[in-house]
Every structure is written in C-alpha cells, then in structure tokens.
Structure 1
Amino acid sequence: MSVPEAGNTIAIPSYKPKAEDATVELEWSQTFKTREATYYIVCAKNASKGNADVMLFIQDRFYKDESSPDYIGKIPGVTKDGDSFTVTINDRFQYGQKNKEGEKRWVVLHDKGNKMYQHRFMTTTVQGNAADWAKTLANSFGAGDLADQVTDLGKRFVGDYLHTF
C-alpha cells in the first residue's frame, strides 16, 4: 500500500448525499471537557502515487458546508475538477499510522485544534454505524487490529496524537 506524503496531490470526491452513509461521530476529552465532531470517511485517490487509495477523514464543515470559511473549495490552491477537488497534501492535513515507518497511513482534514488520539478515528469507524464499504476500507488500513488493542478505559486517556504533515 502506498504511503501518502506531504507534497502528494490527491483527488477528493465532492460531497454527495450518499456520503451521509459514511460518517462517524467522534468524541474525545480535551482540556477536561468532552468534545465531539462529525467526520466523513472518504476514499481519496493519490495522483502522485498511481491513484492509490487514501483513506481520508474530513470534518463536516470542511466537506459539506459550502458556506463555511473552512470549506474545501475555499482552501487556497484547491481546484475543482469535475466531481472532485484536487489538493496538495500540506500542513493543513494531519495523519495517523500504524508505526513510525508510515505503514497504513491515513489522512485527516479538520480543525487542527481538535486534539485527539489517532485510535479514535479507526475504532469509531469499525465499531460504529458507518457504511460497510467504509468499515472495509478502515480495516484495510489496520483499524480492526487497533480496535482490538484499545481498552475502554484507555480510549479517553492514552495513545498517539495525530501528526501534522
């Protein structure tokens, strides 16, 4: 599997109503408060690496809400090509991965003020109500193994934070 890297160009499919089938509600603790946000699970394509699949979590206001100043179509350098947005991975993006070698790396586009552990994305996807294709994609990125390793107690307090490209 190809590892997405800073400088790669990815194609992100435009929002469509069927994307609602692949959402996850993430909840985490930050500064002693419970926070939550909705993310869409998207299969982007890495044009820099032979159109390899890239698992992308994109926060709702970046994806669905065209009136938001954070909307993907308003990000500098993003172009709309038919039914997708073309964007270069830069420090606006964060990522999670299996290990420091970058195995099974997946990408996040969201408010980077959301400080949550990597495992939140994967365990919520495989254990939640996301569409079967989204769970299959998450499992191909190692989500099932990760979910098995995380205990209920540890979910709120331990783990690795997302990394910034």
Structure 2
Amino acid sequence: MPSPVQRGNEILVPLFDGEALGPALTVKWQQSFSQRSEPYYRVTADNITTGEVLQLFIAAEWFKSSTAANANHISKIATLVPGEGYKITVDERFQFGQKNAQGEARFLVLHDKTRTPYQHRFIETAVASALSRQGEGVADKVLAFFALPKGTASTITDTVKAYIGDYLRNF
C-alpha cells in the first residue's frame, strides 16, 4: 500500500490544461440547510517527498484562471516549476479524505475550508464523471485508485458511501 500523503510533504500540481482535464466536476452537498455545489478539478499530482502519485481535488477558482482578487489561486500560493507545474508543501490549507484510519486511498482537497462536503461526494463525482465520459472501464480505474471495488453505475454511490462517509479532515 502506498504511504498516505502527510503534512509537510512537497507535491507537484500539474499546470492547468483545460483540454486534458475536460470540464470541472460539480461537487454537490448540503450545508446549513441549503443545497450547495461548486466546480472542482481532479488532478493527479506527484508527491515529490515519497515519489508516489496522489489524487487532488482543487477548487476551479483556485486553479483554472488567475485573478488579482483571488489570493488563493495556485499560482499565488505555490512555486512555479516552469513547464512542469506548481510545487507546494502540504499544510493547513489542505484537507483530505481517506478510506480508513490507516490512510488508505488518501486524497487531498484544496479549497475554501468553509465548504463542508462529505468525503464521498468527491469520489462519487469523479467516478460518475469518468463513467459518463469514458465508460465503466475508466470508472473502475478511478474506483481502484481510491481502493474501492469495481462497480456499475447503479452501485457506485452505495459502494462509495459504505467506505467513505465522513467529512474532510484537516492536517
């Protein structure tokens, strides 16, 4: 089992490539008795510290376009490595989700921490997106990355909730 990403690890977030990433994923949840949804991009980042890869969900407004008003854009909180991506240290800005207390299938989320979606909302959205865009084979690969069993469109939601039904955690 790969070692889970830890606070203090350095990661390399790839440069934004809208064509390769496709449209942002819309993560939906309920917060303060109202329905919420926000766009996120799921990227595969490199954990420079361990040499492993990890899944990162990053709020679209922190990744897609840089504006002077957005102090949390990746270009303003990380170091640009020309032609490769943004190097950033995992710290209190990040939250994470995982399959179990051992940190299996840990993934990172970089967003406004006042948002409170459950962990499974990210995985459900990623798997459903892969399923709708590229079919069950790709969806099964996404499930495998999160150490979840293969499923079909009708079983994905129940499968994910059975493994991950907790709020995101802080480092």
Aligned-partner SS, 1:74? helix
1:24-39 pair list within 5 angstroms: 24-39=25-40
Tell me the TM-score normalised to structure 1 length: 0.84
Kindly indicate whether the alpha-carbon contact (under 8 Å) linking 1:13 and 1:44 is maintained by their aligned counterparts in 2: yes
* Aligned-pair CA distance for 1:2: 2.6
Kindly indicate whether the alpha-carbon contact (under 8 Å) linking 1:55 and 1:106 is maintained by their aligned counterparts in 2: yes
Runs of 4+ aligned residues of structure 1 deviating over 2 Å after TM superposition are 128-139, 142-151
* Aligned-pair CA distance for 1:19: 4.2
Residue in 2 that maps onto 1:60: 60
Residue in 1 that maps onto 2:98: 97
Structure 1 residues 124 and 73: alpha-carbon distance in aligned structure 2, compared to 1, 3 A threshold: same
Residue in 1 that maps onto 2:153: none
1:141 maps onto 2:146 in alignment: yes
Counterpart residue identity of residue 3, structure 1? P
Residue in 2 that maps onto 1:162: 168
For structure 1, which runs of at least 5 residues remain unmatched after alignment?
Answer: none
Aligned-partner SS, 2:6? coil
Q: Distance in 1 between matches of 2:138 and 2:56?
A: 10
2:72 to 54, 70, 78: 70
* Aligned-pair CA distance for 1:123: 1.0
Superimposed CA distance per residue, residues 96-125 of structure 1 (whole angstroms, 9 cap, x where no aligned partner):
000011011011101111101000000111
Counterpart residue identity of residue 142, structure 1? A
Identity percentage over the alignment?
A: 35
For structure 2, which runs of at least 5 residues remain unmatched after alignment?
Answer: 151-155
Q: Distance in 1 between matches of 2:149 and 2:113?
A: 25
Aligned length: 157
Counterpart residue identity of residue 72, structure 1? I
1:107 maps onto 2:108 in alignment: yes
